[in-house]
């Protein structure tokens, strides 16, 4: 299990010996032991303790005061280095925590992932202000959003992704499988779900560094047109296609999904819907309907989802994934597949596979934290540590899902009787 390292931050100091001063009795702050704090501090602490009650977290303040938030054994200590940060934790919890963590005004001693899991669990079941996303990114905004995340530099992603540069949920046959093997297994699993046949044409929307497109062409003998709007990724993917001698069978196209043309036997999109925005789902569905063969066309959508409609936390959409939205499964069915009458063939939830994937990314990320700090700055390292840790926690606690939806034309009767063939195969291609 990953344990967060303590970043340097202003005002951090060893906890002094505690002196006893209990604030007024509160069921969730009964072990609230404070050194002199003013009334505002005490009110903030009491409110925060109420919000986070049951979390396995200890708070430590700038003056060394320690506050446990519940009966659970703490797995981490959150050190709040100043009063402004304490107030922000109360008024803008997720955004305040993320920003303070990134700048070092707040530090975490202990296991960051387990702490975030514990907070998620403590918050589970509380009434949530769920809402479906309403806005979507324009083409220009989409290009900008992709640029700020995916164009951070191939050298950066190469440090902690697998060798094939797959930046989406892997597929682990078991807990001991390596990230490299699990990513290759995922690529092949997707191909088997799509039942690709040699000579077929595939369109991929949002192809990352091209790993799936190249795998499909190399291992299944199909021709692929793969779309992406990240320049860094496209450059890398094209070089790789040439190097592998697949340049004639895989074309990487610098276009938005809305500009997809032509026709295909299979359509696949891995990890793109999160960036599409609900208001554009109908447009995406209509593209799929237009390009897919009317008789035997089929496809697979792989995306981060939710059990209940809810926006991403505001820190994630401000600092990590602008405009991102993880839809519910029924958002995708109702707005993308249903208007074209597509038939859902298979849905699989791979939530724990993404938790495992993120765990491995985070371990590799930590192994290169100093290099990354030199490439960017220490604040960037803390920001991305928190992003990878909190995503892992959300998949572990079921706050995020990973859905693979396989769909087909409604009258296509050529499917096998059972799904057994998805599992009877050895991994296609060499290991």
Per CB under 8 A, the segment of 25-33, 39-47, 198-206, 340-348 that binds a copy of itself is 340-348
Among the listed residues 343, 261, 338, the one whose alpha carbon sits nearest the alpha carbon of residue 296: 343
Of 349, 363, 368, 376, the one binding a copy of itself (CB under 8 A) is: 349
Question: Does residue 396 interact with a copy of itself by CB under 8 A?
Answer: yes
CB neighbourhood size of 360 (10 A): 22
State the minimum distance, in angstroms, from the CB of residue 352 to a copy of itself.
6
Nearer to a copy of itself, 64 or 398 (CB): 398
Residues 297-326 touching a copy of itself, rule: CB under 8 A, are: 307-309
# of chain residues touching a copy of itself (CB under 8 A): 48
Among the listed residues 231, 280, 279, 284, the one whose alpha carbon sits nearest the alpha carbon of residue 254: 231
Question: Does residue 357 interact with a copy of itself by CB under 8 A?
Answer: no
Question: Does residue 283 interact with a copy of itself by CB under 8 A?
Answer: no
Integer Cα distance of 161 and 79 in angstroms: 31
Binding mask 53-92 for a copy of itself (x = CB under 8 A): ----------------------------------------
Residues 102-121 touching a copy of itself, rule: CB under 8 A, are: 121
Nearer to a copy of itself, 60 or 353 (CB): 353
What value does the CA radius of gyration of the chain take, rounded to a whole number of Å?
24
Indicate left, alpha or beta for 245 from its phi (over 0: left) and psi (-120 to 50: alpha): left
Question: Does residue 424 interact with a copy of itself by CB under 8 A?
Answer: yes
Nearer to a copy of itself, 255 or 412 (CB): 412
Nearer to a copy of itself, 20 or 431 (CB): 431
Q: How many CA atoms lie within 13 A of 420 on its CB side?
A: 3
Of 36, 174, 245, 262, the one binding a copy of itself (CB under 8 A) is: 174
Residues that bind a copy of itself (CB under 8 A): 121, 124, 171-175, 307-309, 328-330, 333-334, 337-338, 341-349, 351-353, 396-399, 401, 403, 409-413, 415, 417-420, 422-424
């Amino acid at each position: 299990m990953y344990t967060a390292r303590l970043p340097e931050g202003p005002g951090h100091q060893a906890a002094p010996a505690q002196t006893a001063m209990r604030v007024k009795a509160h069921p969730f702050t009964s072990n609230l032991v404070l050194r002199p704090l003013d009334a505002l501090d005490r009110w903030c602490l009491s409110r925060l303790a109420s919000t986070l009650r049951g979390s396995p977290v200890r708070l430590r303040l700038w003056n060394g005061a320690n506050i446990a938030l519940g009966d659970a054994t703490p797995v981490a200590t959150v050190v709040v280095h100043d009063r402004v940060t304490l107030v922000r934790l109360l008024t803008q919890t997720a955004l305040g925590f993320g920003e303070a963590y990134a700048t070092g005004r707040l530090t975490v001693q202990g296991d960051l992932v387990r702490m975030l899991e514990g907070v998620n669990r403590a918050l589970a079941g509380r009434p949530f202000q769920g809402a479906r996303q309403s806005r979507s990114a324009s083409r220009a905004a989409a290009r900008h959003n992709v640029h700020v995340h995916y164009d951070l530099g191939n050298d950066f992603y190469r440090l902690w992704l697998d060798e094939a540069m797959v930046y989406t949920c892997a597929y682990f046959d078991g807990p001991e499988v390596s990230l490299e093997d699990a990513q290759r297994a995922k690529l092949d699993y997707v191909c088997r779900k799509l039942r690709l046949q040699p000579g077929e044409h595939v369109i991929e929307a949002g192809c990352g560094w091209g790993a799936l497109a190249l795998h499909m062409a190399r291992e299944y003998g199909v021709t692929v047109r793969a779309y992406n709007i990240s320049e860094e990724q496209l450059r890398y993917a094209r070089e790789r296609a040439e190097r592998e001698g697949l340049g004639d069978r895989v074309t990487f196209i610098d276009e938005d999904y809305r500009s997809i043309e032509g026709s295909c036997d299979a359509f696949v999109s891995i990890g793109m819907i999160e960036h599409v925005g609900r208001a554009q789902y109908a447009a995406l569905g209509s593209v799929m309907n237009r390009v897919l063969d009317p008789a035997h066309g089929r496809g697979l959508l792989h995306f981060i989802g939710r059990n209940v409609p809810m926006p991403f936390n505001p820190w994630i959409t401000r600092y990590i994934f602008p405009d991102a939205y993880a839809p519910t499964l029924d958002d995708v069915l109702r707005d993308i597949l249903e208007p074209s009458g597509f038939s859902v063939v298979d849905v699989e939830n791979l939530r724990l596979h993404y938790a495992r994937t993120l765990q491995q990314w985070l371990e590799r990320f930590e192994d290169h934290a100093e290099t990354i700090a030199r490439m960017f700055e220490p604040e960037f390292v803390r920001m991305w540590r928190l992003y990878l840790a909190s995503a892992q926690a959300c998949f572990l606690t079921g706050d995020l899902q990973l859905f693979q939806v396989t769909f087909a034309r409604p009258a296509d009767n050529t499917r096998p009787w059972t799904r057994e063939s998805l599992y009877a195969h050895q991994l296609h291609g060499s290991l």
